[in-house]
């Protein structure tokens, strides 16, 4: 397979189905050797005993590519380390990390249990941190040894994390955390030749079949805007050496639409030069709010 990722080595987490599967296939199509990670869980994160990663590996190999399956729980610190080491041992190194694994347990805030909160935050937020931590340590060591790699990280945020989503407090908080993690990691890891970006994909997957079923339905003909494969070419380009000048960005992808998110920015401000009196704060804040951009509405509001 020849393409823009020829000779590069990638890990894609949560790659047995949906977006992750499409990412793994596209990276392989573009020439990368791929570690296809999937823990094999239900939409709610429960073990199923399935091994969907194996079928993705078989598809890649049948098309002439290189791939190996990995069953790690990406939020387990040691298993994440072993997954990174598997890429190095199997293919001789690591150049690309696509953090994609996750699941949902949607509830309105007042109905969310502690267990549901912990599970979603763990798989999304820690499940991004752990692989990135171990891959980053490898890339730092490579750089110090004079073997700086053109390393790329593509994280997965969401419109829920950027604009918020009714009934998805936990998921939105995790995805917002991933966006912030992306900004900091990009600033910290650039010295090692690593770029870190995030995508905010809108596509038809197991996680969107419930709350957004009407929007996500496949059309009878024409361009399927919500097919998850539409997102993967953007991931492949961000994973390429050509994307060296792009880092610390969150890019929304839906169908053929690419949107660079602008995120939090300092807006209108005032400085009294001394401590405020609480009674005077309200008028000043309302004045500043009148000068500021109106926030986009929360999804589902």
User: In this structure, is the dihedral angle defined by the CA atoms of residues 188, 192, 193 and 197, taken in order, positive or negative?
Assistant: negative
- Strand pairing partners for 67? 34
20-59 in b/e form (b: 16+ CB < 10 A) is bbbbbbbbbbbbbbbbbbbbebebebeeeeeebbbbbbeb
pLDDT band at 104 (very low <50, low <70, confident <90, very high): confident
Strand order in the sheet with 257-260: 67-70, 33-37, 9-12, 96-98, 151-156, 194-202, 250-254, 257-260
Q: How does residue 216 score in pLDDT terms, banded at 50, 70 and 90?
A: low
- Identified catalytic residue from 39, 138, 171, 192: 171
**175 carries an active-site annotation:** yes
How much is the pTM? 0.91
Catalytic choice (172, 175, 192, 202): 175
Q: Is there a catalytic annotation at residue 158?
A: yes
Tell me the C-alpha distance between 255 and 277, whole Å: 51
User: For residue 69, is pLDDT > 90?
Assistant: yes
Question: Which CATH code for domain 9-260?
Answer: 3.40.50.720
Mean pLDDT along residues 182-193: 97
DSSP 5: T
pLDDT tens readout for residues 117-160: 999 999 999 999 999 999 999 999 999 999 999 999 999 999 99
Q: What is the pLDDT of residues 238-252, one digit of tens each?
A: 999 999 999 999 999
DSSP conformation letters of 137-166: HHHHHHHHTT----EEEEEE--HHHHT-BT
Q: State the pLDDT at residue 221.
A: 74
Q: What is the pLDDT of residue 93?
A: 98
Q: Please check the confidence at residue 46 and state whether its pLDDT lies above 70.
A: no
Q: Where does the pLDDT of residue 262 fall: very low under 50, low under 70, confident under 90, or very high at 90 and above? A: very high
- Indicate the domain borders of the chain: 9-260
The confidence score (pLDDT) of residue 128 equals 98
Q: How many CA atoms lie within 13 A of 160 on its CB side?
A: 24
Mean residue pLDDT across the chain: 93
pLDDT score, position 214: 58
Catalytic residue, chosen from 126, 157, 158, 240, is: 158
How many whole angstroms separate alpha carbon 148 and alpha carbon 253? 30
């Amino acid at each position: 397979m020849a393409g823009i990722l020829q000779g590069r080595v990638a890990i894609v987490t949560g790659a047995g189905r949906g977006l992750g599967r499409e990412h793994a296939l596209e990276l392989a199509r573009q020439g990368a050797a791929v570690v296809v990670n999937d823990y094999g869980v239900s939409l709610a994160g429960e073990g199923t005993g399935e091994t969907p990663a194996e079928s993705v590996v078989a598809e890649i190999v049948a098309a002439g590519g290189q791939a190996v399956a990995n069953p790690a729980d990406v939020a387990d610190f040691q298993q994440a380390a072993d997954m990174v080491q598997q890429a190095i041992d199997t293919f001789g190194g690591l150049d690309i990390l696509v953090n994609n694994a996750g699941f949902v347990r949607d509830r309105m805030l007042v109905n969310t249990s502690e267990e549901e909160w912990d599970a979603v935050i763990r798989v999304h937020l820690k499940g991004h941190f752990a692989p990135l931590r171990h891959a980053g340590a490898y890339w730092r060591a490579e750089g110090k040894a004079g073997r700086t790699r053109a390393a790329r990280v593509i994280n997965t945020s969401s419109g829920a994390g950027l604009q918020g989503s009714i009934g998805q407090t936990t998921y939105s908080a995790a995805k917002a955390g991933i966006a912030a993690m992306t900004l900091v990691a990009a600033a910290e890891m650039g010295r090692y030749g690593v770029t870190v970006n995030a995508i905010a994909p809108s596509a038809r997957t197991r996680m969107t079949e419930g709350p957004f079923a009407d929007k996500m339905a496949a059309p009878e003909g024409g361009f399927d805007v919500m097919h998850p494969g539409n997102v993967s070419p953007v991931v492949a380009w961000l994973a390429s050496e050509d994307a060296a000048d792009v880092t610390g960005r969150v890019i929304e992808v839906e169908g053929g639409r690419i949107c660079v998110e602008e995120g939090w920015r300092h807006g209108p401000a005032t400085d009294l030069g001394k401590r405020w009196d609480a009674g005077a704060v309200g008028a000043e804040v309302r004045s500043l709010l009148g000068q500021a951009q109106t926030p986009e509405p929360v999804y589902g509001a």
